[in-house]
A and B are shown apart, each in its own frame.
Chain A
Amino acid sequence: MIAAYLLLLMPLAGVVFFALFGHRPRIGRINIKFNAFALLMSLWLALNVHESGTLVSEGLYFLVDSFNVYLIVLTAFVGLTTSIFSAPYMRHEQQKGRLTEKRLRLYYSMYQGFMFAMYLVLTTNNMGILWVAMEAATLATVLLVSLYRTPESIEAAWKYFILCGVGIAQAMFGTVLLYYAAMQISDAENALAWTVLIQNASQLDPEILEISFVFMLVGYGTKIGLVPLHNWLPDAHSEGPTPMSAVLSGLLLNDALYAVVRNKMLVDGATQSHIAGYLMMGFGLMSFLVAAIFLHRQQDIKRLFSYSSIEHMGLMTFAFGMGTPFATFAALLHMTVHSLTKSAIFVTVGHAAQIAGTQRIEKIRGLIKTQPSVGWGLLIGTLTIAGFPPFGVFTSEFLVLLATMQSYPWLTPFLLLGIGLACAGLFRNIQPMVYGKRPEGQQAVEANLWPVIIHLVLVLWLGLSIPQSLSDWFNQATILISGSAPL
């Protein structure tokens, strides 16, 4: 458990440290070191869980099991690679005069604040603290969305703040109901501890839990970006600095989905029915299809990929909703590959926007001619996210399709339609951006593309063969969530 405490303390120290020194010239590198430390701690934690199974801290405050430990490692990894990208990116933004020293301090401090909130969401065992941490994640990122202080970015941040704040208030109401149901069977102090709840799930009042789950799904669903609660997401992702878009898309959405899945496990235990699953499937499928259609009419490159995030989160919600071991395994895999790919894409998108000096798709042209690494990175990233073999996204989407054919064959055409639509929507926009003539005076920018290469190679590896240890890990998580092993 020491690893978990250190994992939480380090970013907390980072918040204070960067608030004081965040404007120093080489501060980007220190940010990388903070995140590298967190990754080491998360790996240590994973090793602990691997050796001794589920860990629960004294007083039932923290819980680390095979489900959340893999998300912790993923969070720390994406946090690290994004910080590697962010160092030269933010320097470039500062040189262009878009950022003052004060805002740079805010940026680095809140980067760590956001990481802290994410780790807390994942490690806490208390459903109330889970809510608090989720809200804290919004609060930490809201000023980063408006970091450039343009009218658009302020509007986006305000929307993000109000919509997510109101949305997540619904989750609080759900938590109150859950607490109320739990009070009937347990003492007040531990009644919100997830480990206590899941042990006694069958005694919880099913009717109250059903109502509670509806509120939780609406609340945390707002943060996942489920249609029709997704309005904030494209705005917030497109107007903030690009490293923020990468961590929001790659991490925040996953963690919100994590909260919903934890609640679904409780409701399934209490009601012995599939009501929670049906709700998730409905919302998920709707998000998937609507986002795929919206991909076609985007004019801003970051909005384009924000809609792609909504689409993939919809698919994951759908797969978790199906709830069969096979589907759960596929959803876990998809969560991983989507996070890795999407954050890699946002890194290249950030550089592409810096090269062209704008985020408007029609103005970004000839990337491969200007800076081949960025152009190819964007092209390969898009191939990956659209689900082309041999990348990992193909594998996970294929597994989701198979699981759907197994359980709900009549839904398969909708999935295929969505995947096709999304692929077309992405490529009609990407094609002219990477190929084509290089506009006059377009210059290459300082870029560190190692994060992209590492992420995409990992996704390729996961697509070709999933390592035994990782698949064991996913198997354990699947058993935990759905009750039995896949296949």
Chain B
Amino acid sequence: MELIKLDFYTQGVLSIAALIGLTSFLMLGQGRLLRLIFVFALQGLLLVLATALAGYSMGNFHLYISASITLVLKVFLIPWMLHKQVYKLNLHRDVEALKNNTAVMLGGATLVVFSYYVLHPVIQNTSVVLVNALAVGLSVVLLGMLLMISHRHAIAHVVGFMSIENGLFFAAIVSTRGMPMVVELGIAFDVLVAAILFGIFFLHISRSIDSLDVDQMNRLNEVDQ
């Protein structure tokens, strides 16, 4: 298989899939919050491109609507809200020292291989673009979880959470040309509400423990005091 011989849509989607995977790795190794948010917005933009490309090549109008919802939510609104929070809580100079960065990166690479392995059974009856896109989608989901595990900052957790949603959306768009419209609107609504709630939470957390380091939230556990 040579990339150049494939049709325009397949080439485009495969390239975007690769870039989306790359952004996930960039986020994984990023200790500065503002850059983390920037890369997240970039991933959102790639998602918009993929959606629009799918809409264009299939002549599907509803994908354009979905692309614009993503554009507004994931590229502008949520990064902007996070950005504002970072300045408000005076965190823009902080650099989080990430422990075991090498191990985390290697773990990330393993997760990508694992995603391909899990979705292997699907290969037999589908196209090359689909299997790659689903696998990248799943890896972005898993990498988002890894991001949440390896970072201690609450804002980084939210970025990881939202990036998981990106991975799901990417998988949905490429494999099934998006979910039905009602479902997509419902998901967009949930994401929006979640983003607002996160904003409220940052305030509460920083008031109660005086920082956004989630490692300090350790009062509730099953360990004997």
Contact = CB atoms under 8 A, between A and B. Distances in A.
Interface string A140-163: 001100100111101111110110
Contacts of B97: none
Contacts of A158: 154, 201, 205, 214, 217
A354 interface: no
Interface stretch (B7-15, B27-35, B37-45, B192-200): B192-200
A119 interface: no
Contacts of B186: 128-129, 132-133, 136
Contacts of A205: 125
Interface string B65-91: 000000000000000000000000000
Given A152-B220, A162-B148, A139 B180 contact: no
A61 B154 CA distance: 38
B133 to A, nearest CB: 11
Contact of B164 (A61, A169, A188): A169
A128 B172 CA distance: 12
Interface stretch (A17-25, A173-181, A326-334, A420-428): A173-181
Contact of A149 (B148, B190, B204): B204
B201 to A, nearest CB: 6
A311 interface: no
B168 A128 contact: no
A473 to B, nearest CB: 30
Q: Categorize the interface residue count of chain A.
A: 35 or more
B197 A139 contact: yes
Nearest to B62: A188
A149 B219 CA distance: 14
Contacts of B164: 166, 169
Interface in A423-455: none
Given A169-B168, A172-B168, A183-B176, A126 B121 contact: no
Given A129-B183, A155-B217, A176 B204 contact: no
Contacts of A155: 217-220
A227 interface: no
B161 interface: yes
Contacts of B198: 161
A234 B205 CA distance: 20
A176 B175 contact: yes
B179 to A, nearest CB: 5
A42 B24 CA distance: 46
A207 B121 contact: yes
A65 interface: no
A173 B204 contact: no
A173 B168 contact: yes
Interface in B111-147: 118-119, 121-122, 125, 134, 137-138, 141, 144-145
30 contacts: A126-B183, A128-B179, A128-B180, A129-B183, A132-B183, A136-B190, A136-B193, A151-B209, A152-B220, A154-B204, A154-B217, A158-B154, A161-B198, A162-B148, A165-B161, A166-B145, A166-B161, A166-B164, A176-B168, A177-B175, A179-B172, A179-B179, A183-B176, A188-B180, A189-B180, A191-B180, A208-B121, A234-B220, A235-B220, A297-B224
For the complex of A and B, list the 3 residue pairs with the smallest distance between their C-beta atoms, beginning with the closest: A128-B183, A132-B186, A155-B217
Interface of A: 61, 126, 128-129, 131-133, 135-136, 139, 142-143, 146, 149-152, 154-159, 161-162, 165-166, 169-170, 172-173, 175-177, 179-180, 183, 188-189, 191-192, 205, 207-208, 211, 234-235, 238-239, 294, 297
Given A132-B186, A159-B220, A166-B148, 15 more contacts: A128-B187, A131-B187, A135-B190, A149-B204, A149-B208, A151-B217, A154-B217, A155-B220, A157-B201, A158-B217, A161-B197, A162-B161, A173-B168, A191-B180, A239-B220
